[in-house]
Structure 1
């Protein structure tokens, strides 16, 4: 299960499979043991199909559709409004952006074929391609971009697109005053829009240049401060991406049809299907030809099985995300730095990583993925499993063991619930064992994804196992800890020094200066941890060799939809 409000793309919590996106690779032998691996230097791996003729008959008979997998979509198919990260995957084929960010973190033209940034880094001018339309044939112009940005800055908006560190000029007057528009948004002509911000921010380009929605379709009932009307349109999306929604069958699949009005030309593959497939059955579905592409977890044994099929192109990729246990800092027991440190020392994270990834994972100590340029462990506290240290920290914090072995303070027992979405989550047995030894009553709760997200965002949890979204900029993994907005900072963490460094990290475009800032920030976050980091991982994905361009799709990131539009099927 993957978080989506800002930093929380869907990948999986310590739980489900996913569309594997990102990273170029060189062929290499897999690590098949349980040795600790150095993901900071390890390269992605690619294994070319050895015998494409072994492609199963069911797949060969499917000449007009590409079938891939998705785990647990929630049905909210509107950019900026979904909570479930899988819905972020679901909207990618439907909606196009002004600019997308590739796996290397570089901007790629989409709806805008060019853009300029002013010398003071405050004003962004986007030039849209000529003749753009939405999938119903209606025109897409700069007015639609202006409406999209206005909607995402509405006073009632509480979704995951955050402009608080960018601030479009006139936002305060629009949200809190009588202004009917944001003064910083200027539509010069149907193909040109100029946006003036109040703060320099290296993330502004991708935030301002995000997915565009139709003003005529989504804005006809719009009134400032009243967004509930949009809920009726969540399942009826209209976008300008390469595909349009054809049918959503809850719990089964999402069907898409090629958008004949797509600016890049109607995609050659007429249909795309995102099939809801569990990680346990993905390999069988692929082997039988029921799917053309899928994510297959991080088990070296599965890699060997995939190689044995002959028709599979395989990517073993270092994933730019982090698995963690979110900690509710608003709970009295968890507000203590010492208690959160004890949660680290008292949990055998290496055992969890070994059980889950069998050599294709590593214990995480830094709020950055090993693939990111900011990644460094310099000066970072590394919490090796040390139950004695954990017990001392709990003792010092006033939590003393009772006659039943459970720690108590001021008449309250140290009982912590743990939210997950899968009953075979390896954290459950390991945490039950190691936390019980140090006096914590650990109580797992296995929930469906939607309930788990609701509990998380409503603050109704103690501990919760999630993965971050795919990370591109260093700010992605830490931004939530620098704001008081409860819709973003779901852990309720507060630390003035950390907040200052987070703000500083997005105040300059100089990468060397940002590296110094993030190095210090990672040190601070390790000393006063907001949550418990668990792992980095490599993930396996494979696609049938009859799918031309599958490598581009698998290694895509924000530009996955662009790659999807270029897929071809060999007959």
Structure 2
């Protein structure tokens, strides 16, 4: 029988082949918690130097998507999220939803100024939503029919259909000033009501920010914060030389030792998993290939889900940094605990495949009616973590008699082939609409061609709800309602979820990063979502 620890002996040769396709070589060793060597804490100071991600080349315009997952910095929104991703008030003191579910009325605070000293009013909210709706960007406002100001501090949104996640969207879209907004310049010269203001942007190098003197909330104790745009190796070298106070690191570097710094690990909903096409191979209306003859068999999908060892995969592919994932929305308020199950049930998974008629061939690969259990799984060439996951998964499923080929491809090609060859996806949003995108038969990310009318009905009911708390119950039922659903060991399993990747940062001793909320998809920038609460505790 194939042994899992054989992966550590073979992975070097496996990854060598990835170099030719543009993948960085090298797997990290199994993870162990790493803390820096202790030294005398640095004295309190008034400025910070940090490196937490790539330069946002599109700029800082929330109307085109900046800060949509909660790290706006320069703007604030009508609502916000607490540490547990529950909705709380921000610019709005409250809101009401009409019984029809078509009208949302928000009442604004009266003490809010933009960073240029001008007041924020309902007219700015109206302008922001109209601009975002017409921008054609990632901000989806197709459900919004109109927005109007009843008075200077009351805004009414009218939807063209009930859409309960609209209230969540109002916690994601930052407000811009109508009189200071210019589509061509605002992205580089943002004015907002958030805790910070941008004072300098050296393209390709850094931005310098300072506290917004007119901010209505808790002010930052730091007078100047510089965010450097460095590649990870350069950033880590600068940290080791004492030039940085915070530096983002991916799992490959998390075992490094940095004098005077500690490793901060933050839990996330930044998940990784492969879509599993649930229909036989064929073509769509345009003639494009869809479906997969192996994966359309539920026994194969279930055997992989219950038979793999997610923790082993995390240890070998991600340096042990992450937690096993069993659904699309683990740990979020609308997560359904019934979708979690025990994995690494190798004997049960093999028995399931035997009973389904998948018999082992002479080479150990299962065959059914002349069809080999042989599948290509794709991962993007510019993301070592996803490719490492594919490699580790390929080794893990060998014990099930499934031959998986991990292939590195350009991201555009991965997405193009996802309808018939599994692709490694990264999700993790603060909006339950993500479940609609992935599991509804009309969802934009339903690359598995999954269609369950009961699931569709639960999702439609959740979207039509006029009560956010009630909608959460229906979002939970759409995952598994006790009889059917996409997730859980009795579910339809159109996805093979593997991991929620922890986000890791080296942080200078004495610097406290406050109460970090559950991070969304996208390692790096989310850590500054509460930047105004960072303190120096010398």
1:550 aligns to 2:513 (yes or no): yes
Aligned residues: 481
Q: 1-side partners of 2:478 and 2:69: how far apart?
A: 32
Select which of 367, 381, 389 maps to 2:328: 367
1:291 aligns to 2:235 (yes or no): no
Q: Which residue does 2:175 correspond to in 1?
A: 212
Q: Which residue does 1:482 correspond to in 2?
A: 440
Q: Any gaps of 5 or more consecutive residues in structure 1?
A: 1-14, 17-31, 36-44, 172-181, 221-229
Q: 2-side partners of 1:523 and 1:71: how far apart?
A: 41
- Shift in CA distance, 441/264, structure 1 to aligned 2, threshold 3 Å: closer
Select which of 308, 319, 328 maps to 2:268: 319
Q: 1-side partners of 2:37 and 2:320: how far apart?
A: 25
1:9-55, CA deviations, whole angstroms, 9 ceiling, x for partnerless residues? Answer: xxxxxx99xxxxxxxxxxxxxxx9989xxxxxxxxx9x9x9977343
- Are 1:242 and 1:562, in contact at CA under 8 Å, matched by a contact in 2? no
1:336 aligns to 2:296 (yes or no): yes
- Shift in CA distance, 504/379, structure 1 to aligned 2, threshold 3 Å: farther
Structure showing greater relative contact order (alpha-carbon pairs closer than 8 Å, 6 or more residues apart): 1
Q: 1-side partners of 2:150 and 2:130: how far apart?
A: 16
- Shift in CA distance, 566/460, structure 1 to aligned 2, threshold 3 Å: same
Secondary structure in 1 matching 2:243: coil
Secondary structure in 1 matching 2:481: helix
1:108 aligns to 2:70 (yes or no): no
Q: Which residue does 2:427 correspond to in 1?
A: 468
C-alpha RMSD over aligned residues:
5.1
Q: Within 5 Å, give how 1:97-496 maps onto structure 2.
A: 97-118=77-98, 123-130=103-110, 132-137=112-117, 139-154=119-134, 157=136, 159=138, 161-163=139-141, 167-168=143-144, 171=145, 182=146, 185-197=147-159, 203-209=165-171, 210-218=173-181, 234-235=187-188, 237-245=190-198, 246-247=200-201, 249-250=203-204, 252-264=205-217, 267-277=220-230, 285-296=238-249, 302=255, 305=257, 309=259, 312=262, 315-327=264-276, 331-333=290-292, 336=296, 338=298, 340-341=301-302, 344=305, 349-356=310-317, 361-370=322-331, 372=333, 374-377=335-338, 384=345, 388=350, 415-423=376-384, 425-433=387-395, 438=401, 440=403, 442-445=405-408, 452=411, 454=412, 462-471=421-430, 476-477=434-435, 479-482=437-440, 484=442, 486=444, 488-489=445-446, 493-496=450-453
Secondary structure in 2 matching 1:442: strand
- Shift in CA distance, 436/302, structure 1 to aligned 2, threshold 3 Å: closer
Distance apart, 1:525 and its partner CA? 0.8
Secondary structure in 2 matching 1:157: coil
Q: 2-side partners of 1:341 and 1:332: how far apart?
A: 17
1:293-321, CA deviations, whole angstroms, 9 ceiling, x for partnerless residues? Answer: 24455699849x57xx5664x65443234
Distance apart, 1:97 and its partner CA? 0.8
Q: Which residue does 1:535 correspond to in 2?
A: 499
Q: 2-side partners of 1:128 and 1:213: how far apart?
A: 14
Distance apart, 1:187 and its partner CA? 0.5
Secondary structure in 2 matching 1:247: strand
1:337-394, CA deviations, whole angstroms, 9 ceiling, x for partnerless residues? Answer: 5465566478654431221456554432233324646341368695745785797699
Select which of 65, 76, 80 maps to 1:96: 76
- Shift in CA distance, 254/445, structure 1 to aligned 2, threshold 3 Å: farther
- Are 1:345 and 1:389, in contact at CA under 8 Å, matched by a contact in 2? no
Distance apart, 1:146 and its partner CA? 1.5
- Are 1:317 and 1:539, in contact at CA under 8 Å, matched by a contact in 2? yes
Secondary structure in 1 matching 2:155: strand
TM-score (norm 2): 0.69
Distance apart, 1:520 and its partner CA? 1.7
Distance apart, 1:101 and its partner CA? 0.9
Q: Which moved more, 1:138-147 or 1:255-264?
A: 255-264
Distance apart, 1:193 and its partner CA? 0.9
